Amino acid sequence: APATSTTPSSPTRSGRKSALVDPLQFMQLDAMLSAGERSLRQRARRVLEEGRDDKLLNELYERAEFSPALVDLAKQLGPAGLQIKGNGCPGLTQSETLVLAIELGRLDASFATFYLVHSGLAMASINVAGTPEQKARWLPRMARYELIGAFGLTEPDYGSNATGLQTTARKVPGGWVLNGHKRWIGNATFCDIIVVWARDTASNAIKGFVVEKGMKGFKPHKIDNKMSLRIVQNADFVLDECFVPEDNHLSAAKKFSDGTQMVLESSRAVVAASAAGCLLGAYERALQYCMDRTQFNKPLASFQLVQERLMRALGHLQASILTVIRLGRMMDEGQATMAQIALAKAWVTRTAREAVALCREVVGGNGIISDFGTIKPLMDLEAIYTYEGTYDVNMLIAGRLVTGLSAFV
Amino acid sequence: APATSTTPSSPTRSGRKSALVDPLQFMQLDAMLSAGERSLRQRARRVLEEGRDDKLLNELYERAEFSPALVDLAKQLGPAGLQIKGNGCPGLTQSETLVLAIELGRLDASFATFYLVHSGLAMASINVAGTPEQKARWLPRMARYELIGAFGLTEPDYGSNATGLQTTARKVPGGWVLNGHKRWIGNATFCDIIVVWARDTASNAIKGFVVEKGMKGFKPHKIDNKMSLRIVQNADFVLDECFVPEDNHLSAAKKFSDGTQMVLESSRAVVAASAAGCLLGAYERALQYCMDRTQFNKPLASFQLVQERLMRALGHLQASILTVIRLGRMMDEGQATMAQIALAKAWVTRTAREAVALCREVVGGNGIISDFGTIKPLMDLEAIYTYEGTYDVNMLIAGRLVTGLSAFV
Amino acid sequence: APATSTTPSSPTRSGRKSALVDPLQFMQLDAMLSAGERSLRQRARRVLEEGRDDKLLNELYERAEFSPALVDLAKQLGPAGLQIKGNGCPGLTQSETLVLAIELGRLDASFATFYLVHSGLAMASINVAGTPEQKARWLPRMARYELIGAFGLTEPDYGSNATGLQTTARKVPGGWVLNGHKRWIGNATFCDIIVVWARDTASNAIKGFVVEKGMKGFKPHKIDNKMSLRIVQNADFVLDECFVPEDNHLSAAKKFSDGTQMVLESSRAVVAASAAGCLLGAYERALQYCMDRTQFNKPLASFQLVQERLMRALGHLQASILTVIRLGRMMDEGQATMAQIALAKAWVTRTAREAVALCREVVGGNGIISDFGTIKPLMDLEAIYTYEGTYDVNMLIAGRLVTGLSAFV
Amino acid sequence: APATSTTPSSPTRSGRKSALVDPLQFMQLDAMLSAGERSLRQRARRVLEEGRDDKLLNELYERAEFSPALVDLAKQLGPAGLQIKGNGCPGLTQSETLVLAIELGRLDASFATFYLVHSGLAMASINVAGTPEQKARWLPRMARYELIGAFGLTEPDYGSNATGLQTTARKVPGGWVLNGHKRWIGNATFCDIIVVWARDTASNAIKGFVVEKGMKGFKPHKIDNKMSLRIVQNADFVLDECFVPEDNHLSAAKKFSDGTQMVLESSRAVVAASAAGCLLGAYERALQYCMDRTQFNKPLASFQLVQERLMRALGHLQASILTVIRLGRMMDEGQATMAQIALAKAWVTRTAREAVALCREVVGGNGIISDFGTIKPLMDLEAIYTYEGTYDVNMLIAGRLVTGLSAFV
Ligand SMILES: Cc1cc2nc3c(=O)[nH]c(=O)nc-3n(C[C@H](O)[C@H](O)[C@H](O)COP(=O)(O)OP(=O)(O)OC[C@H]3O[C@@H](n4cnc5c(N)ncnc54)[C@H](O)[C@@H]3O)c2cc1C
Ligand SMILES: Cc1cc2nc3c(=O)[nH]c(=O)nc-3n(C[C@H](O)[C@H](O)[C@H](O)COP(=O)(O)OP(=O)(O)OC[C@H]3O[C@@H](n4cnc5c(N)ncnc54)[C@H](O)[C@@H]3O)c2cc1C
Ligand SMILES: Cc1cc2nc3c(=O)[nH]c(=O)nc-3n(C[C@H](O)[C@H](O)[C@H](O)COP(=O)(O)OP(=O)(O)OC[C@H]3O[C@@H](n4cnc5c(N)ncnc54)[C@H](O)[C@@H]3O)c2cc1C
Ligand SMILES: Cc1cc2nc3c(=O)[nH]c(=O)nc-3n(C[C@H](O)[C@H](O)[C@H](O)COP(=O)(O)OP(=O)(O)OC[C@H]3O[C@@H](n4cnc5c(N)ncnc54)[C@H](O)[C@@H]3O)c2cc1C
């Protein structure tokens, strides 16, 4: 008779270990990193493994909630700001940033997204478009997570075609009045400041503004029933005659495209890396499960159909990480344009999506439960495949460079 | 300035309609049905469209909860019991059952699963393995949904290899004492009776027992953090010296395999049909969305990359429904064995999974929100692909018939 | 020591047979046919099996040559002309035509193409666009294969965009003078008559003309180095002031689109069917091989990775044939437009291409040799996927009907 | 009227050039090479571009013939022998070898295979298993292509399971007598020496022997009807009491596995690289064609469906080359075992096969003609995917290392 003390939900685990637990060892991908990158990775891995609370993450995911504990975890990784130099920011290289993003994605893609939106979008926008005073005002506190940021570009009717945005900024004495809808804005339900992009009614140029929590005429609504990156709090909001003082107008960037382009290039690369990280996490969990679990008196990992899937996922994983590392190198050397980044983002997210589905599948019924580590990345990759430029849009961005022909319309 | 009354979460809809809204019309698949099947389908469609409450479904999905409202909706479709004849059951043909299952899946796969577990597994087991008295005692009330049923075969350590199950039944005066673990049992958190399969300690034969709510030594635990079919309540439970009276021993089936085989054959076919239904629903929603939404001043459906994906999904949908219809015909003529059903189930769920991902993708960011009708079927298909025999296991069942060679171990 | 009499090229065959040799039996697809269709299929199967000479076919393929023996084999199947009624033609239904085409494709896709070009394109064009006298002049002899036909629509610069064709027809006393290039014209190196489509210099309307072997100003060149359908003789030719008498102007069709549309609809459906036939043939051969061959002391078919691929191919095969049968029914009932046919053609060729690759793969090294029955269909499907409307073009034709939006340019 | 001087087979070319012709530039993959590797690559590219005779290659392919002109071309690349040090061989690093193999595959996969069999299999075997005298006897002349080599391991009944080989070697005074069948042996119809692996009837150990052209009891038969790597001459042969003098027994290797393992490791990596090269060549040709060709008044490359396929192929290409480069680095550092090589070979050939199919497809009808540069690599990849360990076998080799579980039987 079974011991009643056993909680019924745990299938027996043989405790069998795979011969090679760490997939990054297989082709020694770590050896491709510089000493600095490697130690950054090791440190991030250690902090995140120590700080990881899967129970909490799964509960937050279940309830689609964010928690300040995630901010605390982020803090353990050091100051926010990624590549920003000065103002208390770490001034990472692009390669270092991507190495870090792999680790973030490996832990949890929602966490990675929160991290990216704050550092890679909100802070980075202030850094490229803000005056020295604006940077000094916001960046140090953001680096210390005293202020959390968001980035408001997308609108209900302007997603892939974001530069067609319709939110307006009307110059008034002492500041600007903003009107419009924004959609999908991550962190915006709880954050302190949002970089909002709006069209100057006078010049038609797109300009950046920092909207602060509690300003009149602005109230975010959480997007409900979101089935991907559930821990990320995405908001819709209407800006209704929302007054923003002149000091909050990010006036240093001359053109939207210049600065924002740089921000989006870097963040898009980070998204590619976090997708590779998702796959890394899912693969590790799937492999471990298939070693551990027995059916028909054999470990799952010994069935040809299971083993081939695991190896296919490993091949995809390696190729994804190689692509990400190469991308970082190119960016650091100033050799990558948006086209290279777009192709890498599209290719890696597509490849990761395919491979994580293989990982999910070999875990069988348990594969649909967050605790077993493969379904969350699978769901999350749906958003990741789509945001920062959908797969198709990124392919067409790359194609435009290669062919010289624009195929968007 | 935008009207503040507009809820920010709704992107503008052009209201543009596709020229051909109903995918079943494309190859007039309805025309392949008999008049009876067609009217059954139309009736089911009408009832489900009238009774559908997407808001409720999405909320339940969000909270991973079941609702009695779903039982009420099921009632609208007429008595439960599918193919069972007599005892107040509808006595459908297999083809009719599959036609109905497509409609159930089109509405919601969790609803379809609830329906199937109750009618196609619990009731069907009592019907094949129960004595006339047992049938008369339970089936009429189950047909009227006064009693809800569940089906307990799988164990934590025996999934694909279910016939290796370890739960025991020890004969004692006046009944049997059950001991063991069960896992994944749908409806089991709230249902009234569960058909439990256990191994007779004396003969080693697998026997069926009806465990009733509140019996001592039995208490189900809901499986948490489940990211697929979230409305279905799956439970783990330990049976700890649980006494079941002799009257609850389903003693009419001579061998486990006989009766259960028939039950599983029919239910596996139903699962194939519900997967096709999932795709049907997702395709309709994706098509409608891509007609409705504009980017770059063009409806999404007019972009080649979007249009090709929609048509690929339509091709997959048609092939899936043709496969399901053919399967029903064969089963009604007594020509299909488990092998045919297994291949159809594996093929259709694989095809639907691939096609629903295309549907999800073309909806862009909104594709990850339940309200837009594609992410829920995508997540649900992960479970459907895996339960009632995983994809691989079903392929090997088919392969065994075709080749005469068993490749399971 | 090995017997020197053994030819070295034959691996040992165990002679093991699969339990279920005929894939059409698996879901009893024959039972879906009418008695007439079934007996037509059986007769075609018998004739083709008796007449089949794989050695010859493989040699012709190797040398990229056609042989009159293929015309003789075609004759065994009865008069040419497929659906044409009268003039000695068989007057088949569309469904019968597709059933026949499956068998043709199963034998050899080049043979099927030869058959289709003669009957389904050349004869069918004369039938829809010719006057009664013209029909009586050519069709009876074509039905008896005394004259072989070809169909000249495509031009070097007008493939997918065939209706943009630039070949001109200038009215002169007693006839017309043709000028232009044609490309890809099957059978044209040896055939007796070619239906050539050209643009009337006066009206700009596209008109049909029968160009006869040996006419001045016309000389076909065989397209060399063709790696698909190698037995089909495709030709390029220049029409250089080629005079065609008025009697050879197919003057009964009022508009190009009317008649040709009907011809192309029917022939496109035939292509879908022949692709399903290719897969049928490849699957049978692959299954047989994997039963027969042993590695590591086990039949290949007993390895999970091999067995799953075979079953995947079988699932694809069944779905393809179901799609083809459904298409035939719809066309016979006048319910299918080009859109339905286009989707079926695109979907079936894509599916067959994917499945035949699986069949090729499990045959290992021998899979690249024609004698083993899988590489030829694999290569042939590349052409089939592309001709009669490429995959993409057919998807966009279907999409245009469904969405009401043309996405061609 | 068209000029009759125009050969009809050439569609008009707009001469439009893609903005970025060289795919290796996209992510500057050359920059990852050392100066030496880069100059080796540039030299190889130059020699092969200057020496390339596509007309000849296509004719040989068409007729399935080899030509001494290919030996001459090989000579232009410098002495044969790849990694062998001494005896007139170049002593390349593994990375250099792979860089060269990419260029060979880019030109023509049959040429690459000829090259590999001679240098990477025949010479390499003599190098690892031969005595210093044997090396001195054969290697210098092979390095100068005065003698061409082959490698005879596979047998009709022992392919994936090659180490089960049944060919026997019986010790007799002054030498050995060989009996058995060999199959698939590349170059063997015309070459001067073949390294044959056979089982010592006394010890059962597998030993290597150099069989020379014209020896009694040995006569190769060309394998006909081969539809992949058609320029490579693969032979079957029976060894019938074939006497080989003791001097031709490669007696330096103690165990088959040791030496041969090293040979096969290196050659398997070369195969992966040549597959990436195939894709490189196909992509370049497809891109160029899609720039050049117009339909519906637009360059093919401007259609979304075409452009996305090209970019997908580019993504696959980059990932393949990154994988190959990484593999070379690991091997040079002595860090890769057969498992890493096996996964890279399986992954790259699978990826290349998928991507070359995309390249073939966008070229439309012309895509099936060798002259247009995509169908040959597509056909060739079928063999490449299968030889040097089939895809599945290589995946299971990798899986065995990772999981510690052998899943072969
Ligand atoms: C979880 C999540 C978080 C996000 N966070 C933020 C954030 O913090 N800040 C912010 O500003 N935005 C954010 N976004 C918005 C995101 O950037 C957009 O979702 C993305 O740009 C796609 O836009 P869309 O959703 O409107 O899709 P659409 O543009 O409507 O695309 C729908 C489909 O049409 C296709 N399509 C569109 N245009 C073309 C074309 N020209 N040719 C071919 N196909 C086309 C797409 O590829 C896609 O398949 C977030 C989105 C998500 C899902
Ligand atoms: C949502 C849901 C509802 C369910 N409802 C019920 C219910 O109501 N009642 C009930 O009794 N059960 C139920 N089940 C259980 C279901 O039947 C099992 O999940 C299913 O049989 C698979 O078993 P498993 O999850 O243990 O996977 P495993 O058997 O552990 O399989 C894991 C992986 O290994 C593979 N594998 C296993 N064996 C082999 C082999 N021999 N060769 C190759 N590969 C192999 C599988 O294909 C899979 O990829 C439900 C499951 C789910 C997910
Ligand atoms: C073996 C063979 C036999 C044939 N026999 C005959 C015959 O007997 N008689 C005859 O008249 N013709 C024949 N054809 C010609 C055949 O009909 C054409 O090859 C076919 O229509 C495709 O045209 P194309 O080859 O010019 O490709 P292209 O039109 O150049 O297409 C190239 C690529 O561009 C894509 N493309 C083209 N337009 C678009 C668009 N608007 N949007 C997106 N993508 C696009 C295509 O999908 C394809 O991927 C034959 C062809 C072959 C290969
Ligand atoms: C063009 C070409 C050139 C070649 N050149 C040479 C040469 O020069 N010298 C030489 O010695 N050899 C040569 N070979 C032989 C080559 O190495 C073999 O073809 C290869 O090893 C596969 O063996 P096979 O063809 O017998 O396939 P098989 O071993 O019969 O395999 C058939 C199928 O069964 C699968 N399979 C086999 N075993 C298992 C298993 N345990 N589990 C799951 N699936 C399994 C395979 O993956 C494959 O799908 C050449 C082959 C080709 C095609």
Residue among A2, A8, A62 minimizing CB distance to B179: A2
**Is the pLDDT confidence value at D381 over 90?**
yes
Ligand 2 atom nearest residue A366's Cα: 25
Average pLDDT, chain A: 95
Whole-angstrom distance, CA of residue A394 vs CA of residue D308: 10
* C17 or D131: which leads in pLDDT: D131
**Is the pLDDT confidence value at C58 over 50?**
yes
Residue among D26, D323, D403 minimizing CB distance to A402: D26
Give residue ranges with CB within 6 A of ligand 2.
A 293, 295-296, 300, 303, 305-306, 361-362, 364-366, 368; B 117, 151-154, 159-160, 184-186, 229, 234, 383, 386-387, 390, 392-393, 408-409; C 304
CB-CB neighbors (< 8 A) of A303 in chain C = 304
- Element housing C263 (H / E): helix C256-292
Residue among B364, B383, B392 minimizing CB distance to A390: B364
Q: How confident is the model at residue B9 (pLDDT cuts 50, 70, 90)?
A: low
Phi, psi of C81 (to 5 degrees): 120, -15
Number of alpha carbons in the 13 Å side-chain half-sphere of residue A46: 7
Q: How confident is the model at residue B254 (pLDDT cuts 50, 70, 90)?
A: confident
**Is the pLDDT confidence value at C259 over 90?**
no
**Ligand 1, atom 7, residue with closest C-alpha:** A185
Give residue B386 CA to ligand 2 midpoint distance, Å: 6
Determine the average pLDDT of the residues in C87-104: 98
Query: How confident is the model at residue B167, as a pLDDT?
Result: 98
Query: How confident is the model at residue D260, as a pLDDT?
Result: 83
Q: Do A67 and A125 form a contact (C-beta atoms < 8 A)?
A: no
Whole-angstrom distance, CA of residue A56 vs CA of residue D402: 31
Q: Is the pTM value of this prediction over 0.95?
A: yes
**Is the pLDDT confidence value at C3 over 80?**
no
CB-based contact, D337 to chain A, within 8 Å: no
Residue D146, Cβ density class (10 Å: 0-12 exposed, 13-18 middle, ≥19 buried): exposed
- Least confident among A7-11, C259-263, C295-299: A7-11
Query: How confident is the model at residue C21, as a pLDDT?
Result: 83
Whole-angstrom distance, CA of residue D186 vs CA of residue D223: 10
**Ligand 1, atom 4, residue with closest C-alpha:** A184
Query: How confident is the model at residue A8, as a pLDDT?
Result: 55
Query: How confident is the model at residue A261, as a pLDDT?
Result: 86
**Is the pLDDT confidence value at A2 over 70?**
no
Distances from the Cα of A332 to the Cαs of A83, A325, A326, A337, D335, in angstroms? Answer: 11, 11, 10, 11, 28
Query: How confident is the model at residue A275, as a pLDDT?
Result: 98
Q: What are the pLDDT digits (tens) for D65-112? A: 999 999 999 999 999 999 999 999 999 999 999 999 999 999 999 999
Please name which ligand lies nearest the alpha carbon of A300: 2
**Is the pLDDT confidence value at B8 over 60?**
no
Determine the average pLDDT of the residues in C285-311: 97
**Ligand 3, atom 40, residue with closest C-alpha:** C408
ipTM of the complex as predicted:
0.97
Query: How confident is the model at residue C17, as a pLDDT?
Result: 85
Query: How confident is the model at residue C303, as a pLDDT?
Result: 98
Determine the average pLDDT of the residues in C354-374: 98
Count CB neighbours of A380 within 10 A: 31
Determine the average pLDDT of the residues in B154-181: 97
Query: How confident is the model at residue C260, as a pLDDT?
Result: 83
Give residue ranges with CB within 6 A of ligand 4.
A 304; C 293, 295-296, 300, 303, 305-306, 361-362, 364-366, 368; D 117, 151-154, 159-160, 184-186, 229, 234, 383, 386-387, 390, 392-393, 408-409
Give residue D403 CA to ligand 2 midpoint distance, Å: 22
- Element housing C194 (H / E): strand C193-200
Distances from the Cα of B68 to the Cαs of A268, B53, B219, D310, in angstroms? Answer: 45, 13, 21, 52
**Is the pLDDT confidence value at A9 over 80?**
no
* Both structure tokens of B275: 């997967």
Nearest to A42 by CA among A102, A90, A88, A85: A102
Query: How confident is the model at residue B347, as a pLDDT?
Result: 98
Determine the average pLDDT of the residues in B125-138: 97
* Both structure tokens of D213: 């052209």
Residue among A2, A364, A379 minimizing CB distance to B390: A364
Helix (H, G, I), strand (E, B) or coil at A217: coil
* Both structure tokens of A333: 């050397």
Query: How confident is the model at residue C389, as a pLDDT?
Result: 97
Determine the average pLDDT of the residues in B271-284: 98
Cα D325 to the center of its chain, rounded Å: 17
Number of alpha carbons in the 13 Å side-chain half-sphere of residue A10: 10
Nearest-CA distance from C16 to chain D in Å?
15
Which residues are within 8 A (CB) of A131 and not within 5 positions of it... i.e. 6 or more apart? Answer: A250, A251, A252
Give residue A125 CA to ligand 1 midpoint distance, Å: 20
Say what percent of chain B tops pLDDT 70.
Answer: 98
Q: What are the pLDDT digits (tens) for D320-335? A: 999 999 999 999 999 9
**Is the pLDDT confidence value at B5 over 70?**
no
**Is the pLDDT confidence value at A383 over 60?**
yes
Determine the average pLDDT of the residues in C68-83: 98
- Least confident among A257-266, A378-387, C37-46, D144-153: A257-266
Nearest to B349 by CA among B310, B394, B315: B394
Nearest-CA distance from B355 to chain A in Å?
13
Nearest-CA distance from C293 to chain B in Å?
13
Nearest-CA distance from C246 to chain B in Å?
42
Number of alpha carbons in the 13 Å side-chain half-sphere of residue B15: 0
Q: How confident is the model at residue D5 (pLDDT cuts 50, 70, 90)?
A: very low
Which residues are within 8 A (CB) of D301 and not within 5 positions of it... i.e. 6 or more apart? Answer: A399, A403, A405, D18, D287, D290, D291, D307, D310
Helix (H, G, I), strand (E, B) or coil at D85: strand
Determine the average pLDDT of the residues in A76-83: 98
- Least confident among A360-374, C251-265, C287-301, D92-106: C251-265
Q: What are the pLDDT digits (tens) for C103-125? A: 999 999 999 999 999 999 999 99
Query: How confident is the model at residue B12, as a pLDDT?
Result: 85
**Ligand 2, atom 9, residue with closest C-alpha:** B185
Query: How confident is the model at residue A5, as a pLDDT?
Result: 36
Determine the average pLDDT of the residues in C306-311: 98
CB-CB neighbors (< 8 A) of A161 in chain B = 295-296
Question: Is the Cβ pair C225, D61 closer than 8 Å?
Answer: yes
Tokens 């067959």 belong to residue: C352
**Is the pLDDT confidence value at D6 over 70?**
no
* B254 or D197: which leads in pLDDT: D197
Helix (H, G, I), strand (E, B) or coil at D180: strand
Q: What are the pLDDT digits (tens) for B365-395? A: 999 999 999 999 999 999 999 999 999 999 9
